[in-house]
Amino acid sequence: MSLNPKLADWTGLRVWLIGASSGIGEATARLLMQRGARVALTSRNEAALKRLADGKALVATADVTDRASLQAAFDDVCTALGGIDLAIINAGTHQPVRAWELDAAAEKLVQVNLVGAINASALLAPYFAQSGGGRLAITASVAGYGGLPTGLVYGATKAALINFAETLYLDLAPKGVAVHLINPGFVKTPLTELNDFKMPALIEADEAAREILAGIERGAFEIHFPKRFTRVLKLLNLLPYHLYFPLVHRITGL
């Protein structure tokens, strides 16, 4: 059963992609352009966005932690495209942290991953609610399902985003607005280059992009992939803590 309306055709769909310059966002932008969507690209690296756009997409540079720059990008996108049908809030950063390495500087992860998504949603949720339509997609992570070694602060931001997207759904679905929660497993991108362990079920960014668009087409609330990995994590997180903790140690070796 799909929790959101299905999407049959990407042609002409006005999509604002935040966090578009590399990795999953870049691959998703390329696929959206191939499918005929009208795409606006946002992140900090203007040169990378311009290369990606290649004259075929709008570039609206912004930092999600800077509300004024995000507001200006939102205004530019609305003016240039005449509105937004789908927004994908995908900006994020990662830094593996173990408990004994914890430094207050890791607060940056909260600023980008969580506060950044709230900043973008504060523009988009009222906009879609007022228009009585549209789609809002938020990229969290399976790292938000439960505690995992090296994900000390990253996982906490993603757990918060999962809760945030659930509550957005509860509020917005009755108003006719679709909400999608994107929970990828390991994807090969600049973000995961920092991981010095063998990442199980690692997929390419192109595959992630195909999964994201297919999930939106199906009208799924949670879009999680690859299933061979995410289903195992879902099961693991159903266990009581006295089984969960030793199993996580054994599986990760950490």
Ligand X SMILES: NC(=O)c1ccc[n+]([C@@H]2O[C@H](COP(=O)([O-])OP(=O)(O)OC[C@H]3O[C@@H](n4cnc5c(N)ncnc54)[C@H](OP(=O)(O)O)[C@@H]3O)[C@@H](O)[C@H]2O)c1
Q: Which residues have a catalytic role annotated?
A: 154
- The verdict on 181 binding ligand X (CB under 6 A) reads no
Residue 1 DSSP class: -
Q: Which residue of 7, 53, 65, 96 would you call a contact of ligand X, by CB under 6 A?
A: 65
State in Å, rounded, how far the first CA of the chain is from the last one.
38
Which of 70, 82, 88 shows the shortest CA–CA distance to 31? 88
Within positions 90 to 129, which residues make up the interface with ligand X, using CB under 6 A? 90-94, 112, 116
E strand or H helix at 48? helix 46-53
Total site size for ligand X, rule CB under 6 A: 30
Q: Which residue of 13, 15, 20, 57 would you call a contact of ligand X, by CB under 6 A?
A: 20
- Based on CB atoms, which residue is closest to ligand X, 49 or 129? 49
- The verdict on 189 binding ligand X (CB under 6 A) reads yes
Which of 76, 170, 94 shows the shortest CA–CA distance to 139? 94
Position 192: which residue type?
Answer: T
Cα separations (Å) of 207 from 31, 52, 118? Answer: 10, 18, 27
**Number of CB atoms found within 10 A of residue 69's CB:** 17
Q: How far is the CB of 8 from ligand X (least distance, A)?
A: 26
Task: Report how far residue 177's alpha carbon sits from residue 194's, in angstroms, rounded to the nearest whole number.
Answer: 36
Q: What are phi and psi of 168, to 5 degrees?
A: -60, -45
Task: Report how far residue 234's alpha carbon sits from residue 128's, in angstroms, rounded to the nearest whole number.
Answer: 31
- The verdict on 139 binding ligand X (CB under 6 A) reads yes
Q: How far is the CB of 143 from ligand X (least distance, A)?
A: 6
- Span of 97-105, 164-172, 181-189, 237-245 interacting with ligand X by CB under 6 A: 181-189
- The verdict on 24 binding ligand X (CB under 6 A) reads yes
- The verdict on 211 binding ligand X (CB under 6 A) reads no
Q: Which residue of 191, 201, 232, 236 would you call a contact of ligand X, by CB under 6 A?
A: 191
Q: Which residue of 14, 15, 23, 145 would you call a contact of ligand X, by CB under 6 A?
A: 23
Task: Report how far residue 248's alpha carbon sits from residue 253's, in angstroms, rounded to the nearest whole number.
Answer: 8
Q: Which residue of 119, 141, 150, 230 would you call a contact of ligand X, by CB under 6 A?
A: 141
Residue corresponding to tokens 């994201």: 212
- Based on CB atoms, which residue is closest to ligand X, 134 or 144? 144
- The verdict on 228 binding ligand X (CB under 6 A) reads no
Task: Report how far residue 144's alpha carbon sits from residue 156's, in angstroms, rounded to the nearest whole number.
Answer: 6
* Residue ranges in contact with ligand X by CB under 6 A: 19-25, 43-45, 48, 63-65, 90-94, 112, 116, 139, 141, 184, 186-187, 189-192
